[in-house]
Amino acid sequence: MMKIRFQKKSLLVATIAALSLIGTQGAGATQNVAGAPVVAEIHEWKNPPALTEGIKEGGFSGLVHLPNDPPSIFYTLADRGPNGQFGKDELRTFPDPNYTPRMYKIKVENGNIHVLETIKLRLQQGKINPFTKTAYISGLPNLAGPDEVPYDVTGTKKLSYDPDGLDLEGIAYNPIDDTFWLSDEYRPSIIQVKRDGTILGRYVPKGSKEALLASGAKMEIFDTLPAVYSKRIANRGFEGVTISPDGKFLYTSIQSPMALPDKKTGEASRNLRILKMDLATKKVVGEYMYIAENAKDFVKVKQKDVVISDLAALSQDVLLIDERDKNAGADAQLKRIYKADFSKATNLLGTSTSEHDLEKLTVAQVKEKGIVPVSKELLVDVAKLNYPHEKLEGLAIVDKNTIAIVNDNDFGVDGYDEKGKIKINSNPTQMYVIKVGKDLK
């Protein structure tokens, strides 16, 4: 995940404006324009537990609401833990290397986010992680070469890799077998876990399994995803994941276009990939092109910074998709929730386009080749609702006309000062509950 300095002034101005939309208890707003989306509630994690170096727990990187839970109950997760970039070489540091990636069960009420349960990820019974020397995994990178080199908080000492380490970005729930599925940026991979955090399996691109096992990985690993996904740009792996309400299909999205044939092409491309898995067989059955917004239509937005952050399924073929830029507060222009229809989109799985050409195609070339991308319809322009955060990263459907979104505050880590000490900002973790102004289902 990218590390961007948070714009404090923009946060303050935008938060004040947003709070003016709601009552003092975080609810009760009315729509100013008939049928227009409106912020109904804002909730905040006000007293997160301390970790180390003045850093507190943070989040959130994904969000899901279970079908039979009250509207105030959600499950969410944090990513690989607090990390920063040290010095002119921007070395990747991990101030809390023993941090365990985790899910949270939360309740929102009266403007507060209450953590009901913290669920740390662990290996199956009898297995010991090679880095932590316990059943719990870390958030450290997996492999030398394709992953960043991990350093300690001082940026002077290299840390060991963890072949079981995960950088979690999305969460989904399967009602058929009562398991969660999480998306990971490292390999990239998708992970099936039990409610107690026990990892049942990690699904990786073909050709990735051997290196992980050779490095000491203890997870059950299935190399069933298309091999081409190993070409993801670092920290731009699987970001969003969702499961259709009937539990039959899983969708997972790459955060930004991949390095095919090279990183320069990927960073200039608008063509993102979304995979579809049949959960009965655990086999990938579809790959679709999603065309991101054109950065040229915005001010001071680079194409490489237009990304997908999360998915939420309305049906087997229709998803909500969170698309955003890297800006915060008053500078933010692209913070949008789209309704995307896959029913008529071209399935590119196993084609030459998937393996070689997808990222380098222009919109005109896509049309010339007869490729039908996923259709998209703007549902909510969150930037117009005075949303203060850069990283709109979690998206959940609450009911037929309500969604919830959460931000990732990066544990408040804001780089290093001139003395080489971690800087902490006041960027909070918040949930916005939005009435969308129309029936979703």
The tens digit of pLDDT for each residue in 263-322 reads 999 999 999 999 999 999 999 999 999 999 999 999 999 999 999 999 999 999 999 999
Residue 73: pLDDT above 50? yes
Q: What percent of the chain has pLDDT over 70?
A: 92
User: For residues 29 and 261, what is the distance between their CA atoms, to the nearest angstrom?
Assistant: 49
Residue 34 confidence (pLDDT):
54
* pTM of this prediction exceeds 0.75: yes
pLDDT tens for 171-188 read: 999 999 999 999 999 999
Q: What is the mean pLDDT of residues 89-112?
A: 97
Burial 304-323 (b: 16+ CB within 10 A, else e): bbbbbbbbbbbeebbbbbbb
pLDDT of residue 25: 38
What's the pLDDT at 35?
78
Residue 21 confidence (pLDDT): 42
Residue 16 binned pLDDT confidence (cut-offs 50, 70, 90): very low
Could you tell me which residues come within 8 angstroms of residue 427 by beta carbon, excluding any fewer than 6 positions away?
Answer: 6, 8, 11, 389, 409, 410, 412, 414
| Percent of residues in the chain assigned helix, strand, coil, to nearest 5 | 15, 35, 50
* Average pLDDT over all residues of the chain: 92
pLDDT single digits (tens) 55-67 = 999 999 999 999 9
Residue 271 Cα distances to 160, 190, 259, 288, angstroms: 35, 21, 11, 10
pLDDT in tens, 329-342: 889 999 999 999 99
The three-class DSSP label of residue 371 is coil
φ, ψ dihedrals at 231, nearest 5°: -90, 15
pLDDT of residue 135: 98
Q: What is the pLDDT of residues 102-154, one digit of tens each?
A: 999 999 999 999 999 999 999 999 999 999 999 999 999 999 999 999 999 99
**pLDDT at position 431, please?**
98
Burial (Cβ within 10 Å: 0-12, 13-18, ≥19) of residue 245:
middle
Residue 30: pLDDT over 50: no
pLDDT at 22: 41
Q: What's the whole-number mean pLDDT along residues 346-360?
A: 96
354 and 346 in contact (C-beta within 8 Å)?
Answer: no
